[in-house]
Amino acid sequence: MLCNQDYMELPKVTVLMATFNGIRWVKEQIESIKLQKSVHVNLVISDDGSTDGTYEWLEELASTNENIELHFNNSSTRGAAGNFYHLIENINMDSADYIALADQDDIWFEDKLYNQIQSLKLTSSDGVSSDVIAFWPDGKKERIIKSDEMKKFDFLFESAGPGCSYIFTPGLFTLIKKSLEKLKKEDRPDLHDWFIYAVARANKKNWTIDPVPLLKYRQHENNVMGVNRGWQAKLNRLSKINDGWYRQEVIKISRIVEKMTSDEEVLNVCRIVGADTFANRLKLMALLPEARRAKMDRVMLYCACGLFLF
């Protein structure tokens, strides 16, 4: 058993969780966070207007747990990204040694945070993400690989994996917060994890994508961005390319990065993405080997460019 002094010396991790109508899953997730080994956890939750009893259950939980802080997100921006942005903008992190993100519906392994802190230290990184174990209601499990070799421009075209696998230093958190505060709401990316990764890489911060999965990533019908499993999921992803959503998000990220970096190669890619001309399309296709980590993702993006879908 830890004595009080040992407990006080444990690394302090503030975990940010966004919730919305997650009463079916949030209890199991919070229990897995409370059971984290060899760390001191403060859980800060922002609820996005739940109507299924999630907020009421969390309110009662927070009233009896001093390490759980609950907020109601009454901003005009709804959705997971808006809720995480709300947390980043409004929570004081002065006492945290590290900051981690949590979804409402996953299950963390008990050594997730401790192992990630060791990874941060061993690699001298500012941020760490990882592969995850996806699981479905039918019992299927699958390791989702996000740790393919990092590419020079991948942060302009994708995130570092699910945000629920992210942990980062207070220094990087401060940079993320300041970057976010400079953006109008309409200019903020739809995916907070992609934004965080882009800010880190654009500012030459060290990021590690760990191949060791440390959480179970729940898949269900209400996932905002889940695993690309089955033909229906693939069609949904392709529709986001076809309807212009993906390109617009890449443009948003590129405009943000342009204001942060002095790297001429990165700036050149940002300019190419921002101007949809035939010449720039050819230039972009030539750069695609450095645009996505996974080979299949590079092939799909190459095809999308060639078919004028991106």
Q: Poorest-confidence range of 2-6, 15-19, 56-60, 164-168? A: 2-6
- The pLDDT of residue 1: 38
Model-wide pTM > 0.85:
yes
Tally the domains of the chain.
2
For the stretch 44-95, pLDDT in tens is 999 999 999 999 999 999 999 999 999 988 765 668 999 999 999 999 898 9
Measured between alpha carbons, how far is 111 from 215 in angstroms, rounded to an integer? 9
Measured between alpha carbons, how far is 75 from 45 in angstroms, rounded to an integer? 15
State whether 222 and 189 are in the same domain.
yes
Q: Poorest-confidence range of 29-43, 126-140, 165-179, 268-282? A: 268-282
Domain that holds residue 148: 4-228
Residue among 39, 154, 187, 41 at smallest CA distance from 102: 41
State whether 77 and 190 are in the same domain.
yes
Measured between alpha carbons, how far is 219 from 135 in angstroms, rounded to an integer? 6
State whether 245 and 216 are in the same domain.
no
- The pLDDT of residue 6: 55
Measured between alpha carbons, how far is 197 from 161 in angstroms, rounded to an integer? 9
Measured between alpha carbons, how far is 143 from 216 in angstroms, rounded to an integer? 9
State whether 69 and 86 are in the same domain.
yes
Residue 191 pLDDT greater than 70, yes or no:
yes
State whether 109 and 252 are in the same domain.
no
Q: What percent of the chain has pLDDT over 90?
A: 80
- The pLDDT of residue 231: 53
Average pLDDT over residues 137-158: 97
Residue 220's SS3 state is coil
First CA to last CA distance, the chain? 57
Strands 127-130 and 107-108: unpaired
Residue 8 pLDDT greater than 70, yes or no:
no
- The pLDDT of residue 74: 74
Domain finish residue from 196, 228, 260: 228
State whether 237 and 181 are in the same domain.
no
Domain finish residue from 228, 260, 288: 228
**Single-letter residue type at 105:** D
State whether 252 and 273 are in the same domain.
yes
State whether 70 and 13 are in the same domain.
yes
**Single-letter residue type at 228:** N
- The pLDDT of residue 308: 85
Measured between alpha carbons, how far is 263 from 65 in angstroms, rounded to an integer? 47
State whether 214 and 236 are in the same domain.
no
Residue 258 pLDDT greater than 60, yes or no:
yes
Task: Grade residue 5 by pLDDT with cuts at 50, 70 and 90.
Answer: very low
Residue 297 pLDDT greater than 50, yes or no:
yes
The residue among 306 and 33 whose pLDDT is bigger is 33
Contact 120, 233 (CB under 8 A): no
Which CATH number do you get for residue 16? 3.90.550.10
Domain finish residue from 185, 206, 228: 228
Residue 3 pLDDT greater than 50, yes or no:
no
State whether 165 and 265 are in the same domain.
no
Contact 129, 155 (CB under 8 A): no
For the stretch 194-224, pLDDT in tens is 999 999 999 999 999 999 999 999 998 765 5
Task: Grade residue 2 by pLDDT with cuts at 50, 70 and 90.
Answer: very low
- The pLDDT of residue 234: 57
State whether 126 and 222 are in the same domain.
yes
State whether 159 and 21 are in the same domain.
yes
